[in-house]
Amino acid sequence: MFTCLYKYLFKRKKPTHDKEKIYLVCLEYNDPSYMQLNRESILKQLDEPDHEWDILVIGGGATGLGTALEAVTRGYKTILLEQDDFAKGTSSRSTKLIHGGVRYLAQGNISLVMEALRERGRLKRNAPHLVKDQSFVIPCYNWWCVPFYTIGLTLYDLMAGKLGIGRSVPLSKQKTLQSLPSIKSDKLRGGVRYHDCQFDDSRLAINLCQTLLEQGGVAINYMKVTGLIKEEGRIAGAVAEDMETGQGYFLSAKVVINATGVFVDQILKMEDPEAREVVKPSQGIHLVLDERFLKGKEALMIPKTSDGRVLFAVPWHNRVVVGTTDVEKQLAELEPHAEQEEVEYIIETAGRYFDVPPVKSDVLSVFTGLRPLAAPSGTGKKTKEISRGHKILVSDGGLITIIGGKWTTYRKMGEDVIDVAVGKANLPERKSITRDLRIHGYRQGVNLQNPHYWYGSDQDQIESLEEADPALEEVLSEKLNIRKSQIIWAIRGEFARTLEDCLARRTRALQLDARESIRIAPGVAGIMAAELGYDQNWELMQVEAFTKLAENYLLN
């Protein structure tokens, strides 16, 4: 019989309150009804009249998950509602760096860099299966570049203090070429190597969600907040709609936190249609290329491109992610589109540094995200000049909104916003414990050569599934190392509800190779339909919807 994680947790930990016991019921992970039952039990709980949550969080990206985890680990009755899938928005579309932000240091934003460097160290300690060291090399083509960046980056290292991960060093021309064998050698004078961390953004979001449930909280995807409940002038809960069934729910809460990224204004306008807009979306795109464009394990960093931006080319799951851009947008969207100019800018800039310049047909996938930047009070600032720090706002009715920040600082954002919420809702004060909280999947010393290292301790669960049913060992994609067992696991243990959930955010197929993800879509839909008890019509609709979406991740 397989290990039952929830039973194990139940024995070790006292649930924070009775209602959460429901999530600790012992269900075997190889029981196909596991996640469905879990969703059903959550829905039942949402239906309970007179139930009041301490904290209701809207939004299941990095910010909402960090906030809800902070709340539940302090012992507050917490629920998180996500309108689509967890990390469907910006939180699956980052450059995949856990970093202090060398660029912010250059802008003189010392406190933001210090905070991010501290969080980088904590996250690496708490999720070692997902957050790994990544060395970066800045190639230098003029005389002042090597000393200038060596000094600047040594300062960066010192700012990390005890949580530092390696010293920056100057490199000779020869050593630079050894580190980045595919860059142009003409006029190269040398380089500088520094260290930051890399991760997998949507995988971390899923692991945070699992941690939240294990701690006694509730999180549910495909549950959209459509209105706010106001009583005597105060926000007292939210109205939500199950996007799978259309069923509506009225949820009472002592405090509501709006962590909806670029959508925060939509929630604010539910309380006050005249509310001032507080978010400024800034679009960034990435192109994914074959690993032959970078060759090797080190990342390339261009600190100042022709128009003053930073460009990264970072190895990621045997591909290279190149980005990003910074373009102001008016519209908040879940599926933003890369603009032609952005694509050309990245191809052209990468082509200036790579020995073999990439062309559009080399692009395996293009993905686009919107930064939820806090709109500055003055006008005229370009989005690239707006601080990446976070802001917390409290409306007249007590709705708390959090905007800005980075994936790297999601935990600190959660800590700060819960401090505010506790004061506003008169909740009993309790200390934060998330600095040292291990994240689900925690495993030290994972073998990075193993294509499934990102599962951490959950690899045991997947192996158990295969032991019980060897048919699940079937490989669905050789190119992307995807096996049938991962799809079953995504449904039973990782809240996947749609084909897109499996291909975009559980296996990363869409971002790694959009064409290959389209190829395997029908097979994956078939496995999902059988597991979830859907008919062929569902399968066909899923494949059609996914193919249409994935075509936007292709350039030709």
Ligand X SMILES: Cc1cc2nc3c(=O)[nH]c(=O)nc-3n(C[C@H](O)[C@H](O)[C@H](O)COP(=O)(O)OP(=O)(O)OC[C@H]3O[C@@H](n4cnc5c(N)ncnc54)[C@H](O)[C@@H]3O)c2cc1C
Q: Which residues bind ligand X (CB under 6 A)?
A: 58-64, 81-84, 88-91, 93-97, 224-225, 259-261, 263, 284, 324, 334, 369-372, 405-408
**Residue 147 CB, nearest approach to ligand X (Å):** 27
- CA angle at 490 for the pair 488 and 493, rounded to the nearest 5°: 95
- Nearer to ligand X by C-beta: 29 or 136? 136
Residues 400/417, Cβ–Cβ less than 8 Å: yes
Per DSSP bridges, beta strands 475-477 and 482-483 are antiparallel
**Residue 187 CB, nearest approach to ligand X (Å):** 29
**Residue 88 CB, nearest approach to ligand X (Å):** 5
Strands (E), 259-337: 279-290, 299-302, 311-316, 319-323, 327-328
Identify whether 349 is preceded by a cis peptide bond (ω within 30 of 0): no
- Nearer to ligand X by C-beta: 419 or 460? 419
Residues 482/454, Cβ–Cβ less than 8 Å: no
**Residue 209 CB, nearest approach to ligand X (Å):** 12
Residues 96/198, Cβ–Cβ less than 8 Å: yes
**Residue 59 CB, nearest approach to ligand X (Å):** 3
Q: Is 283 helix (H, G, I), strand (E, B) or coil?
A: strand
- Nearer to ligand X by C-beta: 217 or 405? 405
- Nearer to ligand X by C-beta: 62 or 113? 62
- Nearer to ligand X by C-beta: 4 or 393? 393
List, in order, residues 6 or more apart from 240 with CB less than 8 Å away.
46, 81, 223, 224, 225, 226, 248, 249, 251
Residues 68/78, Cβ–Cβ less than 8 Å: yes
- Nearer to ligand X by C-beta: 64 or 170? 64
- Nearer to ligand X by C-beta: 35 or 370? 370
Count of all residues that appear for the chain in the document: 556
Look at the block and give the residue holding tokens 């070429």. 177
**Residue 10 CB, nearest approach to ligand X (Å):** 29
- Nearer to ligand X by C-beta: 164 or 227? 227
List, in order, residues 6 or more apart from 465 with CB less than 8 Å away.
2, 29, 30, 472, 485, 488, 489
H/E/C letters for each residue in 449-507? CCCCHHHHHHHHHHHHHHHHCHHHHCEEECCCCEEHHHHHHHHHHCCCCCHHHHHHHHC
Look at the block and give the residue holding tokens 């979306």. 281
**Residue 414 CB, nearest approach to ligand X (Å):** 10
Reading the block at residue 141, the tokens are 């083509």
Q: What φ, ψ does residue 184 adopt, rounded to 5°?
A: -70, 135
**Residue 537 CB, nearest approach to ligand X (Å):** 26
- Nearer to ligand X by C-beta: 418 or 488? 418
**Residue 133 CB, nearest approach to ligand X (Å):** 15
**Residue 201 CB, nearest approach to ligand X (Å):** 7
- Nearer to ligand X by C-beta: 225 or 529? 225
**Nearest residue relative to ligand X (C-beta):** 61
- Nearer to ligand X by C-beta: 47 or 335? 335
Q: Is 136 helix (H, G, I), strand (E, B) or coil?
A: strand
Q: Contacts for 451-457 with beta carbons within 8 Å, 24 or more apart?
A: 451/317, 451/318, 451/481, 452/481, 452/486, 453/129, 454/129, 454/130, 454/200, 454/203, 455/129, 456/127, 456/128, 456/129, 456/130, 456/207, 457/129
**Residue 424 CB, nearest approach to ligand X (Å):** 20
**Residue 428 CB, nearest approach to ligand X (Å):** 27
Per DSSP bridges, beta strands 311-316 and 400-404 are unpaired
Reading the block at residue 412, the tokens are 């600190």
- Nearer to ligand X by C-beta: 177 or 300? 300
- Nearer to ligand X by C-beta: 90 or 498? 90
**Residue 316 CB, nearest approach to ligand X (Å):** 11
CA 13 to chain CA mean position, Å: 28
Whole-number Å distance between alpha carbons of 198 and 165: 12
